[in-house]
Structure 1
């Protein structure tokens, strides 16, 4: 079925004028902007890159393990106390508990978050211990102690910066860093510390030690009574532990729900897919490597990925693409990429959605976010673009320029500029 081009979407089509040719013999790598800042200038080589910026942060002291402990005159000295789990902190970036996508972008986002608050934070997908752990402490005096392990939990939100065309006040165009798809929230934490604190100790406000002291419930009858040597449980610590466990369970249920809603991994379909639900623009494009003969070509075989190929009489339109169900927001196009040769839509398979270097392929067009792409454009007169998957937030690119090389997703894009393509009207 032919694609219908509506007047509404035609106004957001790509510029079709050819880009200016590079000087003959030029071999130097494209100049990529060193630092991305909202509203800052970028270059065409940055179109295929993605950078995080931190929008908000909050630092909270958290006790991960705790035990109330009473020391008598005869039980001073070094002791090993087994603390119980109070709360569990997981490092996350993006929409799920294992992070949005593996790779450079999440680590850079967490690095910037740590720098923003002046703390060294965890950069890997990890969590605090889920098991009881021992704290060894030398008790010099009798009294009521809180043995603890704790950390500073760092949470916040981040944006995703992309290079895109922006119109200036005088009507001219320039490339600027703008917020695009892939924003989200993060959680991380600092190095764990352990210690012991008593009700009578003077400790800094908003510190990990003060948080542990609060769990002693110092004004309660439990705190002021005399006890045998050993464990003492305050109601406040028990309530806090129960609340933390409930919060963790709710978070995990939300993650499970999002995972259940994720699109199933569709099998590639070489047969033409029905286009009744797609509203495609009339223009047909090749997605080229700038100044090179190789371009995106849909898979010849089921299960294969989109590859760089040279167009010839055997291409059978597998190297021809249309933009479908096009929308535009703040100058950024969102569209499905429909392949003329096999009738499928470009997609990131669900099984590879959180994998760095996941291979793009085509599948029956079902209009989910795995098949939706943001397209960042050069100034009018140039056909250069960067392409980002909506679901994963990753940019399209390739490892090396070679016939048959697969198109993959990179969480931060290709920082050497090789993730910048051209969309050339056939």
Structure 2
């Protein structure tokens, strides 16, 4: 049995496009490394899948899905309802290495479970597991403004994307192996529960590239622009 601990362990490193996260999720049944790609297996093992004990590799980045800019002039404060404009959508998908959609399969459920556990443990986010996109046309938000200023109303999510790997026992994975283990890759793309809020323009917007911005509200502030 491997010495890898049963507790989840995470290593975070800066990566263009988000945060790279390597999470170890192990159990008594999966603590040992998976079979080597191309090694032989038996007929009784056909169809068996052994998931990578390294866990999924993930990139997490903020996405503004809806936003609107409003100017509250002196003497016009109070409650108002504004309709946000759709900026971007995030589509949920789980595909294997050849691009076949498997989001309704057991594999997708395993990936969602791993991603949800990792995100919850590391970021305290909740991965949304229902609905295929973040599309929200004509989103109306009511706010009470008691101070004049240039504001932005926004709605956004954290986009979670990456891949996971498993080794499957299949027939003829290679010409020299009649029944053997084949490494397969599942690519996934999900999103977290939406965040809604308001930001106030109080100076120049950040000049940081979007890929270095990790908070939804900070990205919304940059999109609002200079005062």
Identify whether the pair has TM-score above 0.5, normalized to the shorter chain: yes
1:144 is matched with 150
1:325 is matched with none
2:196 is matched with 194
Aligned-CA RMSD value = 3.2
Q: CA deviation at 1:120?
A: 2.0
Structure 1 pair 51/126, CA: closer, same or farther in 2 (3 Å)?
farther
2:7 is matched with none
Structure 1 pair 50/57, CA: closer, same or farther in 2 (3 Å)?
same
Q: CA deviation at 1:78?
A: 2.0
1:160-175 matches, cutoff 5 A: 160-162=166-168
Structure 1 pair 114/88, CA: closer, same or farther in 2 (3 Å)?
same
C-alpha distance after superposition, 1:109-156 (max 9, x if no partner): 022123233332123451112412111212121100110000100111
Distance 2:135 2:149 in 1: 28
Note if contact 1:158-1:185 (Cα within 8 Å) is conserved in structure 2: yes
Structure 1 alignment gaps of length 5 or more: 1-32, 165-177, 224-426
Residue among 109, 112, 117 paired with 2:111: 109
Note if contact 1:91-1:97 (Cα within 8 Å) is conserved in structure 2: no
Distance 1:123 1:34 in 2: 27
Structure 1 pair 38/88, CA: closer, same or farther in 2 (3 Å)?
farther
Note if contact 1:38-1:179 (Cα within 8 Å) is conserved in structure 2: no
Distance 2:134 2:72 in 1: 28
Q: CA deviation at 1:99?
A: 3.5
Distance 2:69 2:136 in 1: 19
Note if contact 2:56-2:115 (Cα within 8 Å) is conserved in structure 1: no
Computing the radius of gyration over CA atoms, which structure comes out larger, 1 or 2?
1
Distance 1:179 1:199 in 2: 54
Give the SS at the match of 2:33.
coil
Higher RCO (Cα < 8 Å, 6 or more apart) = 2
1:36 is matched with 30
- For normalisation by structure 2, the TM-score amounts to 0.64
Structure 1 pair 40/50, CA: closer, same or farther in 2 (3 Å)?
closer
1:160-309 matches, cutoff 5 A: 160-162=166-168, 180-181=183-184, 183-200=185-202, 206-218=214-226, 223=227
1:120 is matched with 126
Note if contact 1:159-1:179 (Cα within 8 Å) is conserved in structure 2: no
C-alpha distance after superposition, 1:233-292 (max 9, x if no partner): xxxxxxxxxxxxxxxxxxxxxxxxxxxxxxxxxxxxxxxxxxxxxxxxxxxxxxxxxxxx
Distance 2:144 2:224 in 1: 19
Give the SS at the match of 2:214.
coil
Structure 1 pair 199/38, CA: closer, same or farther in 2 (3 Å)?
farther
Give the SS at the match of 1:106.
helix
Note if contact 1:38-1:161 (Cα within 8 Å) is conserved in structure 2: no
Q: CA deviation at 1:74?
A: 2.4
Note if contact 1:137-1:195 (Cα within 8 Å) is conserved in structure 2: no
Instruction: Please state if 1:60 is matched with 2:33.
Output: no
